[in-house]
Amino acid sequence: MTAPKPSEYLRVGELAERAGVSVATIKYYIREGLLPPPPVKTGRTMGYYDLAYLDRLRLVRRLREEHYLPVRVIRTILVERGDGPLTSSDAELLLRVGPRFLARVEPGTAPPASRGELAARFGVAEDELATLEEMGLIGDGGPDDAELLGALQALEAAGVDRARFPVEGMGHYVELLGELARR
C-alpha cells in the first residue's frame, strides 16, 4: 500500500509530538481501547493516523491531567459513544460532567466532607472528631478520614463500644504503632 497524502494523515511520531504525548502513550491508549487502531496500516509496525486521533488524544490527555479521570472511566465514556471523532459539544460535556461522574464510580474521589457530614454519617460526636483531629488521625474530610471513621463504626457494630475503646485512647495505639514501626 502506498502512503497516504501527508496533509490528511500523520505518522505516530508526528501525532505524538502534536498531541504532546509519547509514542508509548499512544500505543498504550490503543491497547487500552481509548483509541482505535490506526485507520491506514502500511506495514506490521507502520500506520497513519487522521486528525480525529489528534483531537481524541488531546481530550484524553486533558481528562487525565486536569480532571484526574482514570483510563477505565475514560474508556467507558468513549466506548459508549462509539469510535467516531468527538464533536466539540461532546468534548465540553465530558469535561463538565467527568469529575462528577468520577466521584460516583471511583471511591475516594468525592470532594472532602465537612465535619458535620462526617459526624452524621459515622455517628461520631463533634468532640470526638476534634480529639481525632488533635491526634492527627483525621484532617481534611477526605477518603482516609472516612476510612478511619468507618473502621470505628465497624468496631462499634461488632460490639466494641466507646466505653471499652474510647476515642481518646487511640492516641496510645498510634504511639505504640509508631514505636513498633521505628524498631
Dump the DSSP string for 87-148. Answer: PHHHHHHHHHHHHHHHHHHSTT-SPPPPHHHHHHHHT--HHHHHHHHHTTS--SSSHHHHHH
Answer whether residue 25 shows pLDDT above 50.
Answer: yes
**91 and 175 both lie in a single domain:** no
**16 and 66 both lie in a single domain:** yes
Average pLDDT over residues 21-46: 83
**82 and 130 both lie in a single domain:** no
| 143 assigned to some structural domain | yes
CA 58/CA 29 separation, integer angstroms: 12
| 4 assigned to some structural domain | no
User: Could you say which of 105, 134, 166 is where a domain stops?
Assistant: 105
Look at the chain and report how many structural domains it folds into: 2
Average pLDDT over residues 60-79: 77
**25 and 97 both lie in a single domain:** yes
**86 and 125 both lie in a single domain:** no
> What's the CATH number where 101 sits?
1.10.1660.10
Lowest mean pLDDT among 7-21, 57-71, 99-113: 99-113
Which range of residues forms the domain containing residue 158?
Answer: 115-182
Grid cell at residue 106: 471511583
| 2 assigned to some structural domain | no
Sequence-ordered list of residues with C-beta below 8 angstroms from that of 71, at least 6 positions apart, any chain: 32, 34, 64
Instruction: Count Cα neighbours of 132 within 13 Å in the Cβ-side half-sphere.
Output: 22
**75 and 135 both lie in a single domain:** no
pLDDT given for residue 14 in this prediction: 92
Answer whether residue 37 shows pLDDT above 70.
Answer: yes
**97 and 13 both lie in a single domain:** yes
